[in-house]
Amino acid sequence: MLVLTAIFLVQAHGAWAQSSAPNPTAAANQYVDAPHDWQMWFPAAGSPMQARIDWLMKYVLWIMAGVVGFVALLMGYVMVRFRASRNPKASKTTHNTLIEIVWIVVPCLILVAIIVPSINLIYYEADTGNPYMTVTVTGHQWYWEYKYNSVPGLDYTSYMIPDDEIKPGEIRRLSVDHPMVLPVGKKIRFVITSADVLHGFYLPSLGVQKYAIPGTELTSWTTITKPGTYYGQCNQICGLGHDSMPIEIKAVPMKDYLAWTKQALANYTQNDARPPLSSPMPRNQLADATP
């Protein structure tokens, strides 16, 4: 009886100590970069990468708007100025050297104006060298696995929280049980692959978009500018649970990140994972239903 009492007290003390321990990811709750209703543009940029992507998108969009507007005005002028009632005798002009030069040179200049910043962005995105840390991201049907290469033993799974288990402060179809936690202001390199079918590792506010391909490792990177919670999603149709593969990232200051790694090493294991999703069929039948 005394032994059982002692075991109970030890377990209770451990549970109390764990629950009373400060939450190292609390700083990320002060800013949430999540999608909202009637959103027209990209989400607010949370990294220099996304800021450049957002700038290029708007830059090209305004150029396109100018071209479309000019062509619309030109077509309106032609239809009014050269309509049949004003020109009963049609012109037989077939060439105009000045106009032909203009409509060759101007589009070329527009293409150059688009190509130069586009190529600069491509080279910027491809520069995955000298990261502070590397996270290997593996897509599964239907959850993510995160392995921190610089923290031996830190390899855990991240599942979407089912709709009937959502708590206050969590977001339906986006919140997960184990978010990825990253330090702010550091270059983070992602090595992305898949254990089964094609997935998509898409973080719109951080400028990351890469396929997760079985047997292949693709790389991407980002630097998160401020503490916060950022969301993404698998954007490849990967089977029955495609809509149940959200990505949640908690970006925190370095001291909080280091504290979190200690807690994660003590508490996260791949064996504590929940079932993949609230599936319309039993879990043991999911494998037979997947492509």
Encode pLDDT of 106-160 as tens digits.
999 999 999 999 999 999 999 999 999 999 999 999 999 999 998 999 999 999 9
Query: What is the band of 83 on the pLDDT scale with cuts at 50, 70, 90?
Result: confident
- Which residue intervals of the chain bear CATH 2.60.40.420? 133-269
Q: How far apart (Å, rounded) are the C-alpha atoms in residues 69 and 62?
A: 10
> How much is the average pLDDT of 100-110?
94
Query: What is the band of 95 on the pLDDT scale with cuts at 50, 70, 90?
Result: confident
User: Given a cut of 70, is residue 7 above it in pLDDT?
Assistant: no
pTM of the model: 0.80
Name the token pair of 13.
Answer: 């003390």
Name the residue with higher pLDDT: 251 or 78: 251
Query: What CA dihedral angle connects 110, 112, 113 and 117, to 10 degrees?
Result: 150
Q: How far apart (Å, rounded) are the C-alpha atoms in residues 261 and 268?
A: 10
> How much is the average pLDDT of 273-281?
44
pLDDT digit string, tens, across residues 198-229:
999 999 999 999 999 999 999 999 999 999 99
DSSP bridge pairs for 189: 134, 221
> How much is the average pLDDT of 158-181?
92
> How much is the average pLDDT of 184-211?
96
Angle between helix 97-126 and helix 48-81 axes, rounded to 10 deg: 170
Q: Does domain 133-269 have CATH number 3.30.1220.10?
A: no
